[in-house]
């Protein structure tokens, strides 16, 4: 039996979190959430998610710093990360991609349902 | 009995020339006096007056001499006579003769005197009457006039004439020096930078304000290119993100005053300030361009206020995106049926909420774009691409809109494919706005035709609709922010009133233009023109 895919959602706005959590759960994914970058890094190590959705604007350390930290830690380096942010300037986008994000998605240009549909494509179960 | 009164007369103290040689003046008066005496004697005139007048106003007397046999005269009368006489001859530069039957006499408002005839003779060069000789009441009028004219022609010595002219020139030089001092004061005193450039854009002179604005001393910039005096830095620090011809190009190549430009420049101590500037060509007397003037103003303060307002719009819009995203998210779930079955009413009303929410989202995106445009933060990524496929894309994207109003689209391509170097994404937005606008204002079953061609080094896209058209009083305003004419169609169709403003800005960023022609109730044509090559001149 396949374990349901586990998604870690790092997003500080509670309303956005609730919405994405709802949609992902409706599509039968397991969802873990974090309100801050620090909490996100912790949960990435302890919860072992299959995919991380990462916001950029966070209190404390920002999303790009989180991404950098994820890549530097062996335990989390292989987890695919999709940046989910409303910031859409050239500089931030290219930095995110160069730091190893799988994709940079601008929230205002996509619906939660469409994003959820993409989860299957984003996550690749690591081969044992 | 002959009485002769002659004197130096100054109508106003200020009229007295400062560099005047008193001797010179006295010699005028002496000559005038001699002449008036002689004329009375020779021609038995009742009075002869000779007046020297100020060059720029015939109301200022400089010197006079009046010889008379028994004419009672009072001072104001004399001045008036001089003034009116000068006026008489200054237009025609002929001497005036009149006898008692003429109404010229009436213009001499003489007191207690019977003037039966008068001869008025102008002094000085034709362009510049600087005096008159007036001879009054000559007996034997018919014979005398010719002789008098002859006498005056020969006796007004060259010497005297040239002295008069010299005197006039002196006055002019004084005036010019005054004026020159005025200009100097302006040049030194204004807070705008005035820079004189040669035809290569090299700095020749700078006024004091230039150093105040740039922090660069005059001798450190003279001989250097103007771009070194006002080095431009974009807000992103990557230089010019405007692709059209620069001000310097406009003036140098097109030989005309440039448009008003805005830029951020770096001062000597590395501060970044906003400035406005223009270039103006300077012409020599033969119509040849001999240099340029650049006038630059520091508009930092105004810009700071604008910037604060803009930052506010930007931050607010950004913050609005998040809650709007959540609202739209849940609405989508409802309308997609994922939150349970909806009654017909529930479906309808939720759709209405969704439309309003979408309008809000569109407005927020427009506001964000505008705040970026106004902050000069709009990044431009230039690529080479073909124009026609882009238009096809935009038309396809708008297909549902066309269909819902049953509007036909006709596309007429240029004879050859047109290759552009521009920011494709921005042009796509501009085109979408213009075509969407055409759809909005065209009734159902109308037609929109798009004609693409090359004209005079520019790619032109003309979007023509058969819609309501634009009333003449609105045409000048439609590209303004939030402008919407009081039009039933525009109110029904919604929209933020920002689309045209944004489109124009995006096109202008490329050095292009959007123009409109329209006929009320017949339709409109919006024409986007884009230069095929990007001219870069610093």
Residues of B in contact with A108 (CB under 8 A): 321, 324-325, 361, 365
- pLDDT of amino acid B496: 65
What H or E segment, with its residue span, contains residue B199? none
What is the least distance, in Å, from the CA of A126 to any CA of chain B? Answer: 31
pLDDT reading at B196 higher than 90: yes
Ramachandran category for residue B9: left, alpha or beta (phi over 0 → left; psi -120 to 50 → alpha): beta
Rounded to whole angstroms, the Cα distance separating B207 from B186 reads: 10
Q: How confident is the model at residue A126 (pLDDT cuts 50, 70, 90)?
A: very low
Sign, CA dihedral B109-B110-B114-B120, equals: negative
What is the least distance, in Å, from the CA of B321 to any CA of chain A? Answer: 7
- pLDDT of amino acid B511: 80
Using one digit for the tens of pLDDT, what is the confidence trace for A42-69? 999 999 999 999 999 999 999 999 999 9
Q: How confident is the model at residue B520 (pLDDT cuts 50, 70, 90)?
A: confident
Cβ–Cβ under 8 Å, residues A26 and A34 = no
How are beta strands A51-54 and A81-85 bridged, if at all? parallel
What does the pLDDT average to over B183-205?
A: 93
- pLDDT of amino acid A10: 97
Report for B128-142, B193-207, B353-367: range of highest mean pLDDT: B193-207
Residues of B in contact with A23 (CB under 8 A): 329, 333
**Chain B interface residues facing chain A, Cβ-Cβ under 8 Å?**
318, 321-326, 328-330, 332-333, 336, 338, 361, 365, 379, 381
Q: Which one of B325, B336, B379 has the shortest CB-CB distance to A108?
A: B325
Q: How confident is the model at residue B536 (pLDDT cuts 50, 70, 90)?
A: very low
Contact A89 B379 (CB under 8 A): yes
What is the least distance, in Å, from the CA of B401 to any CA of chain A? Answer: 20
Q: pTM of this prediction? A: 0.54
Rounded to whole angstroms, the Cα distance separating B428 from B411 reads: 16
- pLDDT of amino acid B240: 40
Does A102 reach chain B within 8 Å, measured CB to CB?
no
Q: Which one of B336, B361, B365 has the shortest CB-CB distance to A113?
A: B336
Using one digit for the tens of pLDDT, what is the confidence trace for B36-63? 888 888 888 877 888 776 655 444 555 6
What does the pLDDT average to over B7-14?
A: 39
- pLDDT of amino acid B101: 43
Looking at this predicted complex, what is its ipTM? 0.87
Q: How confident is the model at residue B25 (pLDDT cuts 50, 70, 90)?
A: low
Mean pLDDT score of chain B, rounded to an integer?
A: 78
Question: What order of strands is seen across the sheet that includes strand B61-68?
Answer: B3-8, B61-68, B47-53, B131-136, B118-123, B96-98
Backbone angles phi, psi at B439, to 5 degrees: -60, -45
The residue that leads in pLDDT, B227 or A122, is B227
SS3 A84: strand
Does A86 reach chain B within 8 Å, measured CB to CB?
yes
If one counts every other C-beta atom within 10 angstroms of the C-beta of residue B154, the result is 8
Rounded to whole angstroms, the Cα distance separating B505 from B499 reads: 10
Contact B365 A111 (CB under 8 A): no
CA-based end-to-end distance of chain B: 83
């Amino acid at each position: 039996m396949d374990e349901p895919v586990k998604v870690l959602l790092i997003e500080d706005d509670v309303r956005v979190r609730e919405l994405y959590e709802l949609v992902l759960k409706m599509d039968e994914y397991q969802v873990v959430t974090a309100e801050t970058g620090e909490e996100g890094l912790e949960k990435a190590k302890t919860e072992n998610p299959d995919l991380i959705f990462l916001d950029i604007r966070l209190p404390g350390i920002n999303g790009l710093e989180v991404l950098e930290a994820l890549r530097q830690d062996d335990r989390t380096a292989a987890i695919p990360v999709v940046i989910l942010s409303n910031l859409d300037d050239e500089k931030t986008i290219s930095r995110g991609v160069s730091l190893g994000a799988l994709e940079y998605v601008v929230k205002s240009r996509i619906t939660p349902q469409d994003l959820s549909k993409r989860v299957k494509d984003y996550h690749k179960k690591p081969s044992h | 009995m002959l009485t002769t009164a002659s004197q130096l007369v100054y109508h106003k103290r200020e009229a007295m020339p400062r560099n005047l040689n008193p001797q010179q003046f006295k010699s005028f008066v002496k000559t005038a006096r001699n002449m008036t005496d002689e004329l009375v004697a020779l021609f038995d005139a009742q009075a002869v007056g000779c007046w020297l007048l100020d060059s720029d106003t015939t109301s200022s007397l400089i010197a006079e001499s009046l010889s008379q046999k028994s004419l009672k005269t009072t001072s104001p009368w004399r001045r008036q006579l001089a003034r009116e006489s000068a006026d008489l001859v200054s237009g025609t530069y002929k001497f005036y003769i009149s006898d008692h039957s003429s109404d010229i006499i009436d213009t001499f408002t003489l007191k207690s005197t019977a003037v039966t005839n008068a001869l008025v003779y102008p002094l000085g060069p034709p362009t510049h009457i600087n005096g008159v000789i007036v001879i009054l009441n000559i007996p034997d009028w018919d014979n005398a006039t010719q002789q008098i004219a002859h006498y005056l022609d020969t006796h007004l010595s060259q010497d005297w004439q040239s002295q008069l002219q010299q005197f006039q020139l002196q006055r002019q030089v004084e005036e010019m020096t005054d004026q020159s001092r005025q200009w100097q004061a302006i040049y030194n005193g204004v807070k705008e930078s005035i820079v004189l450039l040669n035809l290569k854009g090299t700095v020749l002179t700078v006024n004091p304000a230039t150093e105040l604005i740039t922090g660069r001393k005059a001798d450190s910039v003279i001989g250097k290119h103007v771009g070194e005096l006002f080095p431009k830095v974009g807000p992103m620090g990557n230089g010019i993100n405007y692709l059209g011809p620069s001000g310097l190009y406009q003036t140098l190549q097109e030989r005309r005053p440039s448009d008003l430009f805005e830029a951020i420049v770096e001062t000597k101590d590395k501060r970044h300030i906003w400035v406005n500037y223009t270039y103006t060509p300077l012409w020599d007397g033969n119509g040849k361009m001999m240099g340029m003037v650049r006038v630059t103003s520091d508009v930092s303060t105004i810009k700071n206020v604008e910037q604060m307002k803009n930052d506010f719009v930007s931050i607010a819009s950004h913050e609005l995106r998040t809650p709007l995203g959540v609202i739209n998210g849940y609405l989508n779930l409802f309308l997609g049926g994922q939150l349970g079955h909806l009654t017909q009413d529930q479906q309808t009303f939720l759709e209405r909420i969704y439309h309003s929410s979408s309008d809000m989202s569109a407005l927020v995106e427009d506001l964000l774009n505008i705040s970026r445009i106004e902050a000069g933060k709009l990044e431009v990524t230039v690529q080479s691409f073909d124009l026609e496929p882009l238009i096809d894309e935009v038309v396809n994207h708008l297909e549902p809109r066309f269909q819902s109003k049953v509007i036909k689209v006709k596309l007429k391509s240029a004879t050859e494919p047109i290759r552009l170097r521009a920011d494709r994404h921005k042009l796509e937005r501009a085109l979408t706005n213009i075509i969407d606008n055409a759809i909005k204002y065209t009734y159902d079953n109308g037609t929109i035709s798009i004609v693409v061609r090359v004209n005079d080094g520019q790619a032109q896209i003309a979007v023509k609709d058969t819609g309501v058209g634009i009333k003449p009083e609105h045409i000048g305003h439609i590209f303004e922010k939030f402008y919407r004419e009081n039009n039933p169609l525009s109110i029904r169709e919604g929209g933020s009133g920002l689309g045209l403003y944004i489109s124009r800005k995006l096109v202008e960023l490329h050095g292009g233009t959007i123009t409109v022609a329209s006929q009320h109730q017949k339709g409109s044509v919006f024409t986007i023109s884009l230069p095929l090559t990007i001219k870069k001149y610093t």
